[in-house]
Amino acid sequence: MTSVIAGQSLPLLAQFYDFDGGTLTDLDATPSVTITNIGTGSTALTATTSGVTHPGTGSYGYTWTPSTSLAAGAYLVLWSGLKNGGAVTASETVTVVAPASAEATNTSPHGVWYCTREDVQRALDVKETARNARQIDRAIEGASRSVETLCHRRFYPVVATRYWDWPDGRTSRPWRLWLDDNELISVTTITSGGTTIPSTDFFLEPVRSGPPYNRVEIDLDSSAAFGGGATHQRSIAITGLYGYRNDETAVGALAEALDASEASIDITGAASAELGVGSVLRVDSERMIVTGRSMLDTGQNLGGAGLTAQANSVTVAVTDGTAYAIDEVILVDSERMLIVDIAGNSLTVRRAWDGSVLAAHTAGTDIYAPRTLTVTRGALGTTAATHTPATSVYRWNPPGPVRQLTLAEAISTLTLEQAGYSLMLRSGETGSERKRDQRGLEVLREQVYASHGRKARIRGV
């Protein structure tokens, strides 16, 4: 049995003999080749002679490149031709496996964060500048990977196909496959030895507390089984959603149509208030990672008599208050303002937000908001696609304690950098080196490991 990874080319060869054990002989004409899925009967390659070569007497070749979207499984390659006017055929079985492991697709953990840049800025009351943004981003990246190391797991959802040897060289029940750190949220397909195992013939465990699921078990009341490959290597392939949990919140909608190549998206005010740099989004089936934000004209202007340069001048009159959201930041001239309440078409704001300067503003001035997001398209194993206006935007939510520890670790890194990594003594301590009291951070680490860490286990025998 021949195997090919979807998306890669496979040379096929058919040879015809004048009789069993005889010599190779040419056919009357070039034979056609057809490829069908054995399990479903669907056609992967319609009968064709185009591209069929004739490298030698009685030999015919064809190079097949299965689509990366082709379902994994066993496929029948059928050659059909004529010899002396009579029908002759040749066939072979090819196993198609999913195109790549997680490491070979767009599923790298780098850039997937468990808190946002804005979370850190608000916690530290830091004015947004390009220099600070880069420093904060670096701290969040390090904190996110540190939390993963502490907990021995990755939390974000990623669509991927991953492989296991079977038999796997470890002592275990023949119907049970331990996933270890490749925890599953849900399964699309499981194949073993090129044969698809129906969803009714396996269980994801532990059923009472998953996801995440740490093992797959064959239903012993079924005829399914692991194994059956030509060798034990990569015998089992599981395509699905890997990670801890897929907890999502609908945060708003697209404000424009998207094609598959755009690297920036416009969103509504509701989404702008909920998202930040580092957020993981889902639009239809495509996931995106927010890597930047920029201001977009909201299409509305400052109403009423404008605003004076006073902190108590906090009412921003607009044409349509429903187009804005509490916690959204707006920009009028060069002053940023945080919306803290909305009543009809009046926005109550906090002036001079984010380190900007309190200033007077005349009526009719354009109002901007950070509603244009720079994103990584087709992230976490998904494919960039087209989307229509008003399509819902969903935000993936990391577990609360994980988000809190990531934020704390990032803040700790930034404050240590500001202090040149010098540490302060606690009251009553002596010594030549200063030490910072980090007991609160240590306690938080212990709590997160206790609640979300993947603990060691003893394999069943």
Q: What angle do CA 88, 92, 98 make, to 5 degrees?
A: 145
- Tell me the C-alpha distance between 179 and 161, whole Å: 13
Count of alpha carbons within 13 angstroms of residue 382, beta-carbon side: 22
Q: Which residues of the chain have pLDDT under 50?
A: 101-104, 425, 432-434, 459-461
Omega of the bond leading into 55 within 30 degrees of 0 (cis): no
- Tell me the C-alpha distance between 7 and 96, whole Å: 10
- Tell me the C-alpha distance between 71 and 191, whole Å: 10
Rama region for 58: left / alpha / beta (φ>0; ψ in -120 to 50; rest): left
Q: What is the pLDDT of residue 103?
A: 46
Q: What is the pLDDT of residue 335?
A: 95
**Distance (Å) of CA 230 to CA 40, 227, 272, 346:** 22, 9, 53, 70
- Bridging pattern class, strands 366-379 and 286-301: antiparallel
- Bridging pattern class, strands 248-253 and 392-396: antiparallel
Q: What is the pLDDT of residue 213?
A: 96
Give me the residue label for tokens 């416009």.
Answer: 266
For the chain, the maximum distance between any two Cα atoms, rounded to a whole number of angstroms, is 102
Q: What angle do CA 408, 411, 416 make, to 5 degrees?
A: 125
- Take residue 149 and report the two structure tokens written for it: 């190391």
Contacts of 427 (CB under 8 A, 6+ apart): none
Q: What is the pLDDT of residue 433?
A: 47
- Take residue 117 and report the two structure tokens written for it: 């840049």
Closest CA relative to residue 375, chosen from 308, 291, 251: 291
Q: What is the pLDDT of residue 69?
A: 79
Q: What is the pLDDT of residue 320?
A: 96
Closest CA relative to residue 110, chosen from 380, 344, 450: 380
- Tell me the C-alpha distance between 441 and 405, whole Å: 8
Closest CA relative to residue 136, chosen from 42, 230, 232, 277: 277
Helix (H, G, I), strand (E, B) or coil at 20: coil
Give yes or no for a contact between 63 and 94, defined as CB atoms under 8 angstroms apart.
Answer: no
pTM for this entry? 0.74
Give yes or no for a contact between 174 and 225, defined as CB atoms under 8 angstroms apart.
Answer: yes
| Consecutive H or E run containing 70 | none
**Distance (Å) of CA 164 to CA 179, 180, 182:** 9, 11, 10
Q: What is the pLDDT of residue 434?
A: 46
Closest CA relative to residue 352, chosen from 124, 120, 125, 118: 125
408 backbone dihedrals φ, ψ, rounded to 5°: -65, -40
> Is the CA virtual torsion 257, 258, 263, 265 positive or negative?
positive
